[in-house]
Amino acid sequence: MATVNDKLADAEVAHAVSLQRFSNGVVQRMIALLNRVDKDLFGQLMEAIEQMPPGSFTVQRLDQLLQSVQKINAQAYQALRRELDAEMQAYVAYEADYQHKLFLNTIPEPVQVVVPVNSVNPQQVYAAAMARPFQGKLLSEFTKDLEASRMTRVRDAIRTGFVEGETVDQMIRRIRGSRTAGYADGLLEIDRRNAEAIVRTSVNHLSNFTRQAFYAENDDLVDEWQFLATLDGRTTITCASLSGKTFPVGKGPQPPRHINCRSTSTPVIKSWEQLGLTKEEIGKGTQASMDGYVADDVTYSDWLRNKPAEFQDEVLGATRGKLFRDGKVDIDKFTNDKGKVYTLDQLKARDEDLFERAGVAA
């Protein structure tokens, strides 16, 4: 019989898988926003370069001519920050609701009669999360760095182009990339990848921060929290070494531990004895499920192997799912299919479906 802590850990890993697809969707929308301004940016860039014949090149003159380009670049990242802020506020509100619903549906009713499950204020959680650095910086600082580094990359590429005697078209092509390669060979592709990494890491940061806030609000129920690197265990030594370990709520090395980290957390619910419950208040089934032991630290492969074929196919794809069940392919870590995306509404529907499959629907 699975304990409450086992059920919670299993649900959190499944939720983390779905979050990867939600992140995919956020990334697509943010990159599309940046791409939309590229036409204007490159138009201004060509105009600036054409106004400066090779013989008149100076760094000061270049910086003066690039002011219009810098303005467009700044507007693009201002729009990104605004849109990302709206997306993340909505996500935190959902994550707080998800954790609340997960507790309500997993912790036995006799326990909740004595120790009710509390909710958190999403607005307060979001404000606190945005004021807390991850990887040494605030989210707002990361996006400002992205803006500055993109402009620096453009400026340096043009300087190099003039020194090496490149034509205007050659400079633009080196910065933007070629159409045949889908512009993936341009210098600005670096900035797209950097933006993608920051967006993904932001989702994980807000996810785990919201959980910690929720655990703290329910410290009568929650004993500790457990680090789970099920999706990230073999990617980094740091996460692998932490996986399965427990820490006091609000303390310890919380995910994300690195850029693009996919590690997550799960609560460790107190035993019925720690909660001060008596055998008369709860039945034997509740006693067994509320033993207080932490969930097993499992690999992604072992976790996925215990899921229904339908779930495996949804995560891996039908062909790879069958190969996995037949033992012909090793799935040692989660592989994100970036083509699969969830909106926030789809994430909600997915989580509700998982609740029903687990038999814990309200």
pLDDT in tens, 201-234: 999 999 999 999 999 999 999 999 999 988 875 5
pLDDT band at 362 (very low <50, low <70, confident <90, very high): very low
Between residues 314 and 248, the one the model is more confident about: 248
- Tell me the percentage of the chain whose pLDDT exceeds 70: 95
The string of pLDDT tens digits covering residues 50-93 is: 888 777 778 888 888 889 999 999 999 999 999 999 999 999 99
At 232, phi and psi to the nearest 5?
A: -130, 5
- d(CA 209, CA 130) in angstroms, rounded, equals 10
The pLDDT score that the predictor gives to residue 234 is 54
Taking the alpha carbons at both ends of the chain, their separation in whole angstroms is: 20
Q: What is the mean pLDDT of the chain?
A: 89
Reading the block at residue 75, the tokens are 């507007």
The amino acid at 221:
L
pLDDT digits (tens, 9 = 90+) for 14-25: 999 999 999 999
Question: Residue 224 half-sphere exposure, CB side, CA atoms within 13 Å?
Answer: 14
Averaged over 125-151, what is the pLDDT? 92
41-73 in b/e form (b: 16+ CB < 10 A) is bbebbeebbeebeeeeeeeeebeebbeebbebb
Residues 314-324: what's their mean pLDDT?
84
135: left (phi over 0), alpha (psi -120 to 50) or beta: left
Residues 6+ apart with CB under 8 A from 306: none
Q: How confident is the model at residue 335 (pLDDT cuts 50, 70, 90)?
A: low
Q: How confident is the model at residue 306 (pLDDT cuts 50, 70, 90)?
A: confident
Average pLDDT over residues 26-39: 92
Residue 242: what residue type? L
Confidence of residue 280 (pLDDT cuts 50, 70, 90): confident
From residue 72, give the alpha-carbon distance in Å to each of 121, 193, 335: 37, 20, 36
The strands making up 222-228's β-sheet, listed across from edge to edge, are 246-247, 222-228, 264-269
Range 231-243 average pLDDT: 77
Highest mean pLDDT among 171-185, 211-225, 239-253, 283-297: 211-225
